[in-house]
Structure 1
Amino acid sequence: MEDNLLETFWAVSRKLREHTRITLEPWHVSPSQSRAVMVLSKHGEMRLSALAEHLRIAPRSATEVIDDLQGRGLVERRPDPSDRRATLVVLTDQGAGISQAIREARATEGERLFAGLDPADRAELSRILRELRDSR
């Protein structure tokens, strides 16, 4: 029996997660750590609470992710100059380098994944996914 749309979507989602896990192996980072690195790379230094919002996770979970990344030398915590009680998180040079490497590896993997689609289908899929992403 042919899969329905939702089942097909979930199958593709699982495939993407597996490809992401494999893509991240050389840097020994989890998908959640990778997402945090990418957010910091895109937005620069930020408070843990802001990072948690970007990642859509609990602040406690963001703290655990940052603790792991800090232990590996990929991020550092700095005092917030505008609020002595707050702390900012920022990528280190090593973290920025890994961010760039991950970005390049994910782009290559994405090209491989979507290579079987002709340009018109890719454009249409991109349009549909953006529409789903932006809908409420």
Structure 2
Amino acid sequence: MEDDSLLESFWAVTRRLRERTKITLEPWHVSPSQSRALGVLSRHGEVRLSVLAERLHIAPRSATEVVDDLQERGLVERKPDPTDRRATLVVLTPGGVATAAAIHEARATEGERLFAGLDPADRTELARILNLLREAR
């Protein structure tokens, strides 16, 4: 890592994570954004399409496209919001629940592989630093 700056090292790790994520998701034929949507729905249950967009940090139009693709594959379904007829809720189907769980397990295994070279103290310190960066806005 001779003359690499901290930022260059960070980007190199980010690229490596993206590459591994794409490979990890291949068995389910989902994109990273579709995987993230499945994860949000798995953790939070049914949510409005607008809330899903907010949690994914994407435009509502993009969230609609993600949900359209997932719905076409039978992983999610839309249903009317009983408290607001203008709103739509998105919910995982049983197939979506199974897919989200399988993806979560595969990503956890891949994460363990990535961080396996760090001793427990380094892992703890890295987690602390990453949480600081995540919270700094």
> TM above 0.5, one fold?
yes
Distance in 1, matches of 2:47 and 2:125, equals 35
Distance in 1, matches of 2:65 and 2:32, equals 13
- The CA deviation at 1:38 is 0.2
Task: Report Cα offsets for 1:100-136 as digits up to 9, x if no partner.
Answer: 0011000100000010111111110011001110112
TM-score by length of 2: 0.97
Residue-pair matches, total: 136
- Alignment correspondent of 1:3: 4
Task: Report Cα offsets for 1:11-68 as digits up to 9, x if no partner.
Answer: 0000000000000000000000000000011111111111000000000000000000
TM-score by length of 1: 0.98
Distance in 2, matches of 1:4 and 1:18, equals 21
Distance in 2, matches of 1:128 and 1:107, equals 20
Counterpart amino acid of residue 79 in structure 2 = R
- Alignment correspondent of 1:134: 135
Task: Report Cα offsets for 1:53-105 as digits up to 9, x if no partner.
Answer: 00000000000000000000000000111111211000000000001001100
Task: Give the alignment's Cα RMSD to 1 decimal.
Answer: 0.7
Structure 2: 5+ residue runs without aligned partners?
Answer: none
Q: Which runs of 4+ in 1 moved over 2 A?
A: none
Distance in 2, matches of 1:2 and 1:111, equals 28
Distance in 1, matches of 2:12 and 2:78, equals 38
Structure 1: 5+ residue runs without aligned partners?
Answer: none
